[in-house]
A = this chain, B = another copy of it.
């Protein structure tokens, strides 16, 4: 009688951010066996750091959630590339091609926020529902949306942070989005807008500082827009700007914006399930696993 051979698959995660890349390897249950953080330098140096990590910690597939804009349409000429980012040196970088050529494993390429919403969907705040929106409010604002296991997005990935915003009547900040000024959510609610309004970095301010009235209002408006635009069962906030105290106020303002118009599921608006915004790492592992099925 032959032995039963159990395939143990090793999964890789790359969280490709504008200031750091977080690299991790895990087993098929997402138990992390190795983790490393490297600074985002020029593409050649940074991708060499990724390759060295996965040569030392071999995996069978990699999930790569990246800062954008990126080419995510399979078959398109720019698939797997970083597109027109203002980040010096990175525009046009062939992320997937470079990693595949060196590591000879499949790579699931998507946005950082898609990786996060997938992590929440598989094992986090959305694990018991079929549809969810994930927002991150940090140095920028982004969002990923999943419905029945599929990401929303057609021609390209979403750019939810740049949706037009209804200004708070008392908010006279000029906005910091280089494209839209104060006419998009990123321009009035991303982390740097706190220092832009107060002169003090957000992490040095108490959460009851009045500037958070604006941030909470815009976060609630993002949530309400997401609810009428996707009708999801969960709206999840990650990133450093919205903490657990903010969530309570965001829910209150959401109800004011709704004004009893749409019926709301229980516990619609929640915080990321994972500490340190680790939803993207879990999502990357789970997306890598999809490539091995």
Q: Which residues of A contact B (CB under 8 A)?
A: 69, 83-84, 129-131, 147-148, 150, 152-160, 162-167, 179-180, 183, 221, 224-225, 227-233, 257-263, 265
Does A232 lie within 8 Å of B154, measured CB to CB? yes
CA of A78 to CA of B256 in the docked complex: distance in angstroms?
A: 26
CA of A156 to CA of B130 in the docked complex: distance in angstroms?
A: 12
Does B159 lie within 8 Å of A230, measured CB to CB? no
Q: Which residue of B lies closest to A131 (CB)?
A: B154
Does A156 lie within 8 Å of B229, measured CB to CB? no
Residues A224 and B166 in contact in the complex (CB < 8 Å), given A154-B231, A155-B265: no
Does B166 lie within 8 Å of A231, measured CB to CB? no
Does B154 lie within 8 Å of A230, measured CB to CB? yes
Does B261 lie within 8 Å of A159, measured CB to CB? yes
Does B166 lie within 8 Å of A262, measured CB to CB? no
A148-B154, A152-B152, A179-B261 known, 14 other contacts, Cβ within 8 Å: A69-B262, A83-B263, A147-B152, A152-B231, A154-B233, A159-B262, A162-B261, A163-B224, A163-B228, A166-B167, A166-B183, A179-B258, A183-B257, A225-B225
List of B residues within 8 angstroms of A162 by Cβ: 228, 261-262
List of B residues within 8 angstroms of A83 by Cβ: 263
Does B225 lie within 8 Å of A155, measured CB to CB? no
Among all A-B residue pairs, the 7 with the closest Cβ atoms: A131-B154, A159-B228, A179-B261, A164-B166, A153-B231, A179-B259, A155-B231
Residues A229 and B231 in contact in the complex (CB < 8 Å), given A164-B166, A164-B221: no
Does B156 lie within 8 Å of A231, measured CB to CB? yes
Does B147 lie within 8 Å of A179, measured CB to CB? no
A248 to chain B, nearest CB (A): 21
List of B residues within 8 angstroms of A164 by Cβ: 165-166, 221, 224-225, 257
Does A156 lie within 8 Å of B228, measured CB to CB? no
A114 to chain B, nearest CB (A): 12
28 A-B residue pairs with Cβ-Cβ distance under 8 Å, sorted by A, are A69-B262, A83-B263, A130-B154, A131-B154, A153-B231, A155-B232, A155-B265, A156-B231, A156-B263, A158-B228, A158-B229, A159-B227, A159-B228, A159-B231, A159-B262, A160-B228, A162-B261, A163-B229, A164-B221, A165-B166, A166-B166, A166-B167, A166-B183, A179-B260, A180-B257, A225-B229, A229-B229, A229-B230
